[in-house]
Amino acid sequence: QAEVLLAMGTFYSQIKKWDEAESALLKALKIYEGTLSRNHPDVVPVLERLSFVYQEKGDLKKSRDLAREIAATKTKTQDLVF
Protein backbone atom coordinates (compact mmCIF):
# COMPACT_ATOMS: atom_id res chain seq x y z
CA GLN A 1 0.00 0.00 0.00
CA ALA A 2 2.89 2.39 0.66
CA GLU A 3 4.03 1.98 -2.94
CA VAL A 4 0.56 2.92 -4.19
CA LEU A 5 0.52 5.99 -1.97
CA LEU A 6 3.97 6.98 -3.22
CA ALA A 7 2.71 6.66 -6.80
CA MET A 8 -0.35 8.74 -5.94
CA GLY A 9 1.82 11.39 -4.28
CA THR A 10 4.04 11.48 -7.34
CA PHE A 11 1.05 11.81 -9.65
CA TYR A 12 -0.50 14.59 -7.57
CA SER A 13 2.79 16.46 -7.54
CA GLN A 14 3.08 16.15 -11.31
CA ILE A 15 -0.30 17.84 -11.72
CA LYS A 16 0.57 20.40 -9.02
CA LYS A 17 -1.97 19.26 -6.46
CA TRP A 18 0.42 19.87 -3.60
CA ASP A 19 -1.91 19.26 -0.64
CA GLU A 20 -3.08 15.93 -2.05
CA ALA A 21 0.52 14.97 -2.82
CA GLU A 22 1.63 15.83 0.70
CA SER A 23 -1.21 13.84 2.23
CA ALA A 24 -0.51 10.71 0.17
CA LEU A 25 3.23 10.91 0.81
CA LEU A 26 2.81 11.39 4.56
CA LYS A 27 0.57 8.30 4.65
CA ALA A 28 3.17 6.32 2.69
CA LEU A 29 5.88 7.50 5.06
CA LYS A 30 3.84 6.43 8.07
CA ILE A 31 3.39 2.95 6.61
CA TYR A 32 7.08 2.62 5.82
CA GLU A 33 8.04 3.82 9.28
CA GLY A 34 5.84 1.09 10.72
CA THR A 35 7.64 -1.64 8.79
CA LEU A 36 11.11 -0.19 8.09
CA SER A 37 13.25 2.34 9.87
CA ARG A 38 12.97 5.92 8.65
CA ASN A 39 16.59 5.77 7.46
CA HIS A 40 16.02 2.68 5.30
CA PRO A 41 16.93 3.22 1.62
CA ASP A 42 13.41 2.24 0.50
CA VAL A 43 12.04 5.27 2.37
CA VAL A 44 14.29 7.73 0.51
CA PRO A 45 12.02 8.10 -2.57
CA VAL A 46 9.14 9.14 -0.33
CA LEU A 47 11.32 11.67 1.47
CA GLU A 48 12.68 13.00 -1.83
CA ARG A 49 9.22 13.53 -3.28
CA LEU A 50 7.98 15.04 -0.02
CA SER A 51 10.93 17.44 0.04
CA PHE A 52 10.04 18.52 -3.50
CA VAL A 53 6.40 19.05 -2.52
CA TYR A 54 7.39 21.18 0.45
CA GLN A 55 9.67 23.23 -1.79
CA GLU A 56 6.86 23.82 -4.27
CA LYS A 57 4.50 24.78 -1.44
CA GLY A 58 7.05 27.33 -0.25
CA ASP A 59 7.96 25.56 2.98
CA LEU A 60 11.68 25.75 2.41
CA LYS A 61 12.62 24.83 5.98
CA LYS A 62 10.81 21.48 5.79
CA SER A 63 12.22 20.87 2.32
CA ARG A 64 15.77 21.66 3.45
CA ASP A 65 15.44 19.54 6.61
CA LEU A 66 14.29 16.56 4.56
CA ALA A 67 17.08 17.09 2.03
CA ARG A 68 19.62 16.92 4.85
CA GLU A 69 17.97 13.77 6.22
CA ILE A 70 18.05 12.19 2.77
CA ALA A 71 21.74 13.01 2.33
CA ALA A 72 22.55 11.53 5.74
CA THR A 73 20.57 8.38 4.98
CA LYS A 74 22.27 7.93 1.62
CA THR A 75 25.68 8.43 3.22
CA LYS A 76 24.96 5.88 5.97
CA THR A 77 23.52 3.25 3.66
CA GLN A 78 25.62 3.57 0.51
CA ASP A 79 27.71 0.51 1.37
CA LEU A 80 24.88 -1.58 2.82
CA VAL A 81 22.94 -4.20 0.92
CA PHE A 82 19.27 -4.74 1.79
The pLDDT tens digits for 22-73 are 999 999 999 999 999 888 888 999 999 999 999 999 999 999 999 999 999 8
Full-model pTM: 0.88
pLDDT of residue 10: 97
Helix (H) / strand (E) element for 1: namely none
- DSSP states of 35-65: HS-TTSGGGHHHHHHHHHHHHHHT-HHHHHH
Cβ atoms of 2 and 32 closer than 8 Å: yes
Q: What is the pLDDT of residue 61?
A: 98
pLDDT exceeds 80 at position 5: yes
